[in-house]
Amino acid sequence: MRLPILAALLAVLVSPATLRSEEGMWTFDNLPLKALKAQYAFEPDKAWLDHLRLASVRLSGGSASFVSADGLVLTNHHMVRGNVQRLSTRERDLLKDGFVAATREQELKVPGLELFVLVSMENISERVLQAGQAVKSEAEALRARERETQKAREELRTKTGLTVEPVALYQGGETWLYVYRKFTDVRLVMAPELSVARFGGDHDNFTYPRHHLDFAMVRVYEGGKPYRPEAFLQWSAGGLKTGELALVSGHPGTTNRLWTLAQMEYARDFGTPMQVAASGRRRAILEAFAQRSFEARSQVGGQIYGIDNGLKATKGYLAGLKDVEAMKAVERTETELKKKVAADPKLKALAGGSWAQVQKALIESRKLALELMLVNARGSELLGIALHLVRLPVEVSKIETTRLSEYSSAALAPLKTRLTQARPIPFNPELELHLLTEGLKEAQSMLGKEHRFIKAMLGGRSAEAVAQEAVAGSKLQDPVEVKRLLEGGAPALATCMDPMVVLARKLDPLQRQLRERSERLVEGPLREHAARIARARFAVYGKDTYPDATSTLRLSYGTVKEYPANGTLIQPFTTLLGLFDRYEGWGGGEFNLQRDTWRLPARWLERKDKLDLRTPYNLITTNDIIGGNSGSPVVDRKGELVGLAFDGNQESLAGRYYYDERTNRTVCVDARAIREVLTKVYDAEHLVKELMGTK
Amino acid sequence: MRLPILAALLAVLVSPATLRSEEGMWTFDNLPLKALKAQYAFEPDKAWLDHLRLASVRLSGGSASFVSADGLVLTNHHMVRGNVQRLSTRERDLLKDGFVAATREQELKVPGLELFVLVSMENISERVLQAGQAVKSEAEALRARERETQKAREELRTKTGLTVEPVALYQGGETWLYVYRKFTDVRLVMAPELSVARFGGDHDNFTYPRHHLDFAMVRVYEGGKPYRPEAFLQWSAGGLKTGELALVSGHPGTTNRLWTLAQMEYARDFGTPMQVAASGRRRAILEAFAQRSFEARSQVGGQIYGIDNGLKATKGYLAGLKDVEAMKAVERTETELKKKVAADPKLKALAGGSWAQVQKALIESRKLALELMLVNARGSELLGIALHLVRLPVEVSKIETTRLSEYSSAALAPLKTRLTQARPIPFNPELELHLLTEGLKEAQSMLGKEHRFIKAMLGGRSAEAVAQEAVAGSKLQDPVEVKRLLEGGAPALATCMDPMVVLARKLDPLQRQLRERSERLVEGPLREHAARIARARFAVYGKDTYPDATSTLRLSYGTVKEYPANGTLIQPFTTLLGLFDRYEGWGGGEFNLQRDTWRLPARWLERKDKLDLRTPYNLITTNDIIGGNSGSPVVDRKGELVGLAFDGNQESLAGRYYYDERTNRTVCVDARAIREVLTKVYDAEHLVKELMGTK
């Protein structure tokens, strides 16, 4: 059993110094094929890679994959948790009790859930760059490039009839158009009980050793029939062992690894602490609402979960930024690049002054940050709609180059559709009132009552009174009314006395002014100079690095591997034995309230003796992933499904800024565990047969 | 099941502010009975406490307890690991394979293992203090007090015929004589395999969640028959639950909680880092020897284990000293005491200047530390004997007050016995040569070859040559020769040309000089002013605090309780499920070399299915313990045995300097696990019957 390890060791020893560790979220057009060959003797061909790409699925904020010929899609439970919650009723709590469709007829339509498959990618960098060179000022060049991007996007959309999204890679160093096939008829097939899906709850979130059965299955339908995907992942009959190669294909959301040191320091000392405080206030507002009733909690529970998740993640990011050693490494890298730029007259002209410009922009950002955070619709859905209604006629009347970005020609149609279509989730005036009231109170307490935003919105009255009047008096919850106002244009708006529209007319100029200043003093310069530094980096290092995450498809490679933590080495796999150990370790059936976190559903306890408890349950790999990768398939070198990425360990959170191979680990559900429990706990042998292609 | 928790909560709420958490290693003469009553409604009477004390056992560096009417003693496997190793042969590796005596006849005599029971305690503080008041200088007073202590000890020893040890509590604020019954015929009854006793090895040492079966059983014999102890602990039929009261009776070794802030800072910035480096060098020297052969490793393996254990502990102490928040609390406490001392003229006269004196002594300590560490017998046993031989005639000829402390009247007889009796472990000239050679080389490399110690010892020759000649030419490994020289006194010594004696004659004046300086400039002032500060603290706070640990019997109370670590809450119990999870989590049977750490013996794998895997295996409590408590019994409020303390978590290491109730946890083997595996893995039903008193 030692050979593969020896081989890997040898590979590392003989590999050239330029080959780094398993760092990297690689775009499918620029994969680290040399490193894969050298380190793992792994040489995937185009067919192998196309197959993995076409089996990979994107959903809002996350990832998934096709896993059967009949359109079955595997993702994380936490990616569809909100949907499962909304499908629940007081009588039938799918979140608490789980759900298994015994037949296709029982599969439940999930309103609002959209899935995307990346069918092609087009590099339009050259064309976009050209467009920017005709004009002189930085701001005009930016606009020109944006226009050209939108134009190319529109062309491709028309040509393909598919969803086309522009993607800026390497901080704008490259521009691409990604073409997606979109699916909107998605039905819930299987979701385990919340208590096993997130066993250990918020406590265990972002930790390891973990015991989460964080998977769910949905099925894509087209024309009322199960969709037959172009590609789907075969389920491995076995699974991974320690040291074996693991590939993760998914949609990492955001990393900031190409940030300058100054940006990281800004985040560490100012931006992130401010954001943590804001999230805490937002959570308190939502929690106060959730406590009103079962229905209230089921409406905002998902948002609260999202905030908790975000807060724990943010604290991890902050810990990463506070790691003195790691930040020194960031500084060294930057110093090296700066030197190379300074030594080359062309690069110096391009980006020599950019670091100082970034610094300057960050100073401006500090001044504007509080107002930018607070001067907005304050969580009110109707005020948000009203703001669009007020702005649309104005913006549409301008030439494209001077419009606010969300009113570009390309964005107009989808925006209008969104404003006028029926809601997937019914409007809740109570929640609307609560959010607006508390949002206004928060702004008042932080800006002071003499601030022009507070004066404009409240006019000396209380937040409660203003919000009450606005929510009660508005008709904007009705898409018909919104449509009427939209179609009426400027004249209809000018005479509209809907109280939300009245508030929006006051908010609009204040927000425009702030946005203009932020664009001019902060966002514009940051974008411009990040792109300049990125272009300089390109010139120095070429494209053997990977771009920061952008919620687009990436491939990451790594191995199953332990790491040092908590004073010891942490095991690469957990097993079902460990799940029951943690249940019993809190006293088994004898829980007090706090211990509900490590509870198991009755059917798990009843069927425990049927399970092979040695079955690998969760596992860790060195793959470089981040939020947005949740639900990504983990495949072996055959391209077969061996696991499902659902999280990182605490230490991986620093991965937002840098990858530390010693401790950064991806946490996955082992595919073997899914098969084991589908069969023995959930009576879902039919699904296992479908997955294994043996039905 | 909620009532006890509510009761405990109420108790905390209504308890006076002066009652603190479960901090404290309390002497049996001054137990926190009020706190126990208020917090736990627990009121042990004298009989209860005497019984626990008399069932508690001390052994070198650790603790144990009588657990059967026939003298069975329970302690940690790691407390007798060295003994088990020395009982092993190449053919019969008791460490690897474990040992169970099926009958009394099979029980194995353990050479050199001595057990002690504390039968009485006498407070001689007043008498000792009086003795010091007749003389004027600080140094003379110290000597006078020491003499008086030795005198009282000798009186009590003669009166009782038992082992009597002086104990300085509260940094010398109190002096006691502890009277022990000593047992020397001790036989090994049961020791599990090393791989389960320290599953996870050095990696898991000082961590939690843990899965160590760290217990062993020996039996005390007297007159060739099993000893019938005055008291022994009844084994609980059940066990502890989360939140329940746990009492630990044992012998914590050393804490430094009453140190001044300056002493802690000295340890943090200088003393401890220096000690870590020295241990590392010592380990390397021993490891080089161990690699020679099986026998070599079995001779020094225990010492290496001890160093590893010490190093990991020391790193934990250091982490504690580096905890900024905690050190601020230490500083606040000291500042408060200083203020109270300054405000009281009597206290000011006593201790007002003591903090500055401590500072001064520490400055001197820095200067002397390296030489004190290196100018000695350098690990050579024979050179150590020779040094005693050279010094004894000189010291005996002095009046007691001017002797080196180890040659006091009371110490002479035991010292002579030790020097002239047959060795429990045979002399190994190879090891002796290795240690002396490497010890001299180390001193040379650190002091430089111009240092007077190096010049004196080597005289321009190599360490190898000097050591070779000394070890080969010396006869001091023979107790008969040592006896001859001892009895010959100064004249015999003067003409003795044994090479070790020759070296000792060169070493003696150098070491005396250093020791004199250290005593005068460092140790004396530290002892004196620590005692003054301690007396001032007494005057201010009285005796409702506990003294620093002194390897003497203490009682600690606490509860079974989780703690926050590794990003989550850590479960209060582990179970046998967790043990097998960690085995499987590293790949089960498929190990590579590194993974041998989490290996299980064949009989455990074969008999796994017989075990109730839900059985609690290890557990954590808030008891305040430290090294030396290893092997302490954990009893419930009935005084019945429910567990066996064997370690602390990483966070508990800071406990050397302060107790942090949020995270400081004692790690124990659950008594239920011991019964379960004795019966189902070790075929030792006979022992379970003896323990349960049902045979």
For chain B, what are the domain ranges?
7-114+184-257+548-692, 117-183, 261-389+421-541
pLDDT at A410: 78
pLDDT at A590: 65
- Out of A278-282, A342-346, B532-536, which region has the weakest mean confidence (pLDDT)? B532-536
Whether residue B274 has pLDDT greater than 70 = yes
Whether residue B146 has pLDDT greater than 60 = yes
Task: Report the pLDDT averaged over residues B544-559.
Answer: 94
pLDDT at A16: 30
What pLDDT, in 10s, does the model give residues A358-374?
999 999 999 999 999 99
Residue B269: which pLDDT band, with cuts at 50, 70 and 90?
very high
10 Å Cβ neighbour count for B344?
16
Interface residue ranges in chain B relative to chain A, Cβ cutoff 8 Å: 1-2, 5, 200, 203-204, 206-207, 209, 241-242, 312, 562, 565-569, 571-575, 577-578, 580-582, 584-588, 590, 592, 597-598, 613-614, 616, 650
Q: Are the C-beta atoms of B101 and B259 separated by less than 8 Å?
A: no
Q: Are the C-beta atoms of A631 and A63 separated by less than 8 Å?
A: yes
> Three-class SS of residue A99?
strand
Interface residue ranges in chain A relative to chain B, Cβ cutoff 8 Å: 1-2, 5, 200, 203-204, 206-207, 209, 241-242, 312, 562, 565-569, 571-575, 577-578, 580-582, 584-588, 590, 592, 597-598, 613-614, 616, 650
Q: Which residue of B has its CA nearest to A619?
A: B585
The phi and psi torsions of B445 (rounded to 5 degrees) equal -70, -25
Polymer length of chain A: 695
Q: Are the C-beta atoms of A620 and A666 separated by less than 8 Å?
A: yes
pLDDT at A591: 58
In total, the C-beta contacts within 8 angstroms joining chain A to chain B are: 113
What pLDDT, in 10s, does the model give residues B366-393?
999 999 999 999 999 999 999 999 999 9
Instruction: Return all residues near A615 (Cβ < 8 A) that are at least 6 apart.
Output: A575, A576, A670, A672, A673, A676
Average pLDDT, chain B: 91
Residue A132: which pLDDT band, with cuts at 50, 70 and 90?
confident
pLDDT at A695: 55
Pairing of the two strands A115-123 and A174-183: antiparallel
pLDDT at B591: 58
What pLDDT, in 10s, does the model give residues A321-353?
988 888 898 899 999 999 999 999 999 999 999
Whether residue A3 has pLDDT greater than 50 = no
What is the separation of C-alpha B42 from the centre of its chain, rounded to a whole number of angstroms? 29
Q: What angle do CA A597, A601, A604 make, to 5 degrees?
A: 125
Of A685, A616, A630, A552, the residue nearest A75 (C-alpha): A630
Q: Which residue has the tokens 């002096």?
A: B175
What pLDDT, in 10s, does the model give residues B286-337?
999 999 998 898 889 888 888 988 888 888 889 889 888 888 988 999 999 9
Distance CA A263, CA A268 (A): 9
Pairing of the two strands B563-565 and B568-570: antiparallel
10 Å Cβ neighbour count for B116?
22
- Out of A414-423, A643-652, B60-69, which region has the weakest mean confidence (pLDDT)? A414-423
Residue B47: which pLDDT band, with cuts at 50, 70 and 90?
very high
Question: What is the dotted CATH code of the domain comprising B7-114+184-257+548-692?
Answer: 2.40.10.120
Chain B residues touching residue A585 (CB < 8 angstroms): 209, 571-575, 578
Whether residue A592 has pLDDT greater than 70 = no
Nearest Cα of chain B lies from the Cα of A574 at a distance, in angstroms, of 5
Distance CA A367, CA A356 (A): 18
Structure tokens at B133: 């008041």
pLDDT at B401: 74
Nearest Cα of chain A lies from the Cα of B614 at a distance, in angstroms, of 6
DSSP sequence for B473-534: H--TTSHHHHHHHHHHHHHHHHH---HHHHHHHHHHHHHHHHHHHHIIIIIHHHHHHHHHHH
Residue B434: which pLDDT band, with cuts at 50, 70 and 90?
very high
Burial class (CB in 10 A: 0-12, 13-18, 19+), B312: middle
pLDDT at A595: 54
Q: What angle do CA B533, B536, B541 make, to 5 degrees?
A: 120
Task: Report the pLDDT averaged over residues B502-518.
Answer: 96
Q: Which residue of B has its CA nearest to A208?
A: B566
Asked if A581 lies within 8 A of B566 by C-beta distance, the reply is no
Q: Which residue of B has its CA nearest to A615?
A: B584
Residue B7: which pLDDT band, with cuts at 50, 70 and 90?
very low
Across the beta sheet with B633-635, the strand order is B554-559, B245-250, B633-635, B641-648, B666-670, B616-621, B573-575
Whether residue B246 has pLDDT greater than 60 = yes
Whether residue A690 has pLDDT greater than 90 = yes
Q: Which amino acid is at A491?
A: P
pTM value?
0.82
Distance CA B356, CA B366 (A): 16
Going by the DSSP 8-state scheme, the letter that residue A547 receives in this structure is: P
pLDDT at B595: 54
Q: Are the C-beta atoms of A141 and A135 separated by less than 8 Å?
A: yes
